[in-house]
Amino acid sequence: MAAIIPCHYCASLSPKWFNSNNTHSRRLSYPLRGLRGFNARCSYQPPHHSESQNNHNGRSFSLKQCAISIALAVGLITGVPTLDGPTIAQAANPVLSDLSVLISGPPIKDPGALLRYALPIDNKAIREVQKPLEDITESLKIAGVKALDSVERNVRQASRTLKQGKTLIVSGLAESKKEHGVELLSKLEAGIDELELIIQDRNRDAVAPKQKELLQYVGGVEEDMVDGFPFEVPEEYQNMPLLKGRAAVDMKVKVKDNPNLDECVFHIVLDGYNAPVTAGNFVDLVERHFYDGMEIQRADGFVVQTGDPEGPAEGFIDPSTEKIRTIPLEITVNGEKAPVYGSTLEELGLYKAQTKLPFNAFGTMAMARDEFEDNSASSQIFWLLKESELTPSNANILDGRYAVFGYVTENEDNLADLKVGDVIESIKVVSGLDNLVNPTYKIAG
């Protein structure tokens, strides 16, 4: 049974009808306004950006109290029911999923690191090179040049494990990508040597840019280890647009009434390995130019949301059916080789399960949907702005209830500057379009 948390400050929220001009158009609810699929529903009153938010007067409450109540209730539940009911994709190739889970320690909030750890690979040698390079981020939190002593230990460990494990790393490369992977390994070795020189020169400011470069090489090597697509999408979804791999898009936004920011391009990486249906649906809409010219429709300090088209429809109307195209809720859990479909993790009783694509990073991208229907997402998307008391990394109540399918990896901090009425001038696929199968935009075009 799901945890039901009785408290005077928790209330059910439904989708809101509003826009900034006080004319009515429906927006699907998003986290922090309505936690769909979760029996403890917490109302939150964000800053007043629109008329509809005035309806929450008298219903504000302590977010910390609610989060603690939820955590306590979930912690009291024992036992994990079997996965009856939802559709589960079938793995095409065995994957040692324990090597793809997030490394223990402080919550990982960097979008690039989350994407690297989410790759479906089982090569321990490259992971052991990756971890100390990722740990440089924590080392740099030490003040002044003292941080360089810790960074030096990280780099030495990475260098040592790379030399010891290079043969195993090369053997893990997909045959069709081996030449490219070996080239990246050579660049990684040279780059580590360069970073050691930077440390010797006590040049603290040069460490982070070089770390980013090295981790890009590591991520490239790891992607070159993925041989084909790792599982079979369930038959009922196989004819939908599917992203079988990764893709990246650039979203150009025109910012109004901000003297410090006129326009911004957000680089977003979409993960089809863990959310092929969700990411495929989005890429297909991007290629239809569905979002071009659309305004930001919510920006309340917790999320930025868009994707509600003009008119009465709440999502994308497929011209071939003249009906709203919806997609199933799609969640991949650590330790599993493929996603589950059609149910939240809370509904499955997987209260302590961790998702492969968590709401850890500022700019986590996910689908909005109807409050009481798991499989109602269509075109409305949101980006989470971290961190709030309700959604602390690795302990939030959003994971497993909304389908995450990507992260903003460049200029993510500027999401906080967006507001209702800012215009998405364009979203363009800049890589990975060849990973999209069953594209409907070509049929329509």
Q: How far apart are CA 132 and CA 212, in angstroms?
A: 13
Angle of helix 147-171 relative to helix 207-223, nearest 10 degrees, comes to 20
- Per-residue pLDDT at 396: 66
Task: Assess contact for 339 and 275: CB atoms under 8 A.
Answer: yes
Choosing from 184, 207, 225, the residue where a domain stops is 225
Q: Are residues 247 and 364 in the same domain?
A: yes
Alpha-carbon gap, residue 262 to 157, rounded angstroms: 44
- Give the span between the Cα atoms of 367 and 161, in whole angstroms: 39
Whether residues 371 and 265 fall in one domain: yes
Beta bridge partners of 306: 381
- Residue with structure tokens 């941080």? 147
Choosing from 200, 225, 250, the residue where a domain stops is 225
Same domain, residue pair 389 and 242: yes
- State the 10-residue block means of pLDDT for the chain, 445 residues long: 29 32 45 37 36 37 40 34 51 39 63 96 96 96 93 98 97 97 98 98 97 98 96 96 98 92 95 98 98 97 95 92 96 93 94 91 95 94 77 71 97 95 98 96 67
Residue 259's pLDDT is what?
A: 86
Residues 312 and 188 placed together within one structural domain of the fold: no
For residues 308 and 341, state if they share a domain.
yes
The DSSP H or E segment spanning 221 is helix 207-223
Give the pTM.
0.79
Same domain, 136 and 190: yes
Tell me if 317 is assigned to some domain: yes
Listed in sequence order, the DSSP H helices in 78-177 are: 111-117, 124-139, 147-171
The confidence score (pLDDT) of residue 106 equals 67
In degrees, to the nearest 5, what angle opens at C-alpha 360 toward C-alphas 421 and 425? 25
DSSP secondary structure string for all residues of 341-359: ESS-TTTTT-TT--BSS-T
74 within domain boundaries: no
121 and 245 share a domain?
A: no
Whether 135 is in a domain gets the answer yes
**Domain residues for 155?**
111-225
Query: 290 and 264, same structural domain?
Result: yes
Phi, psi of 179 (to 5 degrees): -60, -45
Is residue 357 within 8 Å of residue 405, measured between CB atoms?
yes
Q: According to the model, what pLDDT value does residue 51 have?
A: 37
Residue 432 domain-assigned? yes
Q: Select from 206, 225, 244 the last residue of a domain.
A: 225
Q: Is residue 47 part of a domain?
A: no
SS3 assignment for 381-400: EEEECCCCCCCCCCCCCCEC
371: domain CATH number?
2.40.100.10
The answer to whether residue 57 sits within a structural domain is no
Number of domains in the chain: 2
Q: What is residue 335's predicted lDDT score, i.e. its pLDDT?
A: 87
Q: Are residues 314 and 215 in the same domain?
A: no
Provide the pLDDT for residue 18.
30
Residues 305 and 367 in one domain: yes
- Cα separation of 228 and 244, whole Å? 9
Residue 410 lies in a domain: yes
CATH (domain of 203): 1.20.120.290
